[in-house]
Chain A
Amino acid sequence: DAMVIQNPRYQVTQFGKPVTLSCSQTLNHNVMYWYQQKSSQAPKLLFHYYDKDFNNEADTPDNFQSRRPNTSFCFLDIRSPGLGDAAMYLCATSRDLSGYSYNEQFFGPGTRLTVL
């Protein structure tokens, strides 16, 4: 089945130790997103890739970076995790058919990050 896959499902890191979360998709979608979701809150968009074009949200901290080496994979790098970065990180994809609308988004299972 076509899907969005995230690895690992659970990640524990130490304060200040860089960590990378990965997302892959078999849907062949051209848009990929990273969201952060803290407890009892709605998901918050960090950034997205439209094809190879990176689009950062204005309030995303510089501590968060992303890479998309090809259509199928996207990575979230947290350079120096703080205690406040503990959260669920969700990857999503969508297919833009018209160059105009991003259309329906499909989410992966998420990676729950713990910072010690």
Chain B
Amino acid sequence: GIQVEQSPPDLILQEGANSTLRCNFSDSVNNLQWFHQNPWGQLINLFYIPSGTKQNGRLSATTVATERYSLLYISSSQTTDSGVYFCAVSYFGNEKLTFGTGTRLTIIP
């Protein structure tokens, strides 16, 4: 099956800093989603981005499908950005989401 790797596994930043999270995948995909799992466990949809670039406020994401990676950018971090960020993909022939191992982001006031 497809392999999904996220880096870094852990990231600790001061409030106001910027960060880049990376997701590498081993095969062509037809779906890529970024999620934020908050401290209460809820998975929040951030982006549906199988290719291209999208922006939503302080967050933006870019997927380069031909090179099999996606990046999530968080600018001017706030404490509420803390949590685990998951990348998940699906591909032709197996449309179920495969999750990466996640990046745990901690924003310090």
For the residues of B in contact with A, the DSSP-based class is strand
Determine if B51 is an interface residue (Cβ-Cβ < 8 Å): no
Q: How many contacts A-B (CB < 8 Å)? A: 47
For the residues of A in contact with B, the DSSP-based class is loop
Determine if B45 is an interface residue (Cβ-Cβ < 8 Å): yes
Choose from B31, B40, B45, B100 the contact partner of A103 (Cβ within 8 Å).
B31
- CB pair A107 B86 closer than 8 Å: no
- CB pair A110 B42 closer than 8 Å: yes
- CB pair A107 B31 closer than 8 Å: no
Per the CB 8 Å criterion, the residue count for chain A at the interface is 20
Docked pose: A92 CA to B43 CA in angstroms: 10
Per the CB 8 Å criterion, the residue count for chain B at the interface is 22
A-B CB contact pairs (8 Å), 22 listed? A42-B99, A42-B100, A42-B101, A42-B102, A43-B43, A43-B86, A88-B41, A100-B95, A101-B31, A101-B90, A101-B92, A101-B95, A102-B96, A105-B88, A107-B42, A107-B44, A108-B42, A109-B41, A109-B42, A110-B42, A110-B43, A112-B41
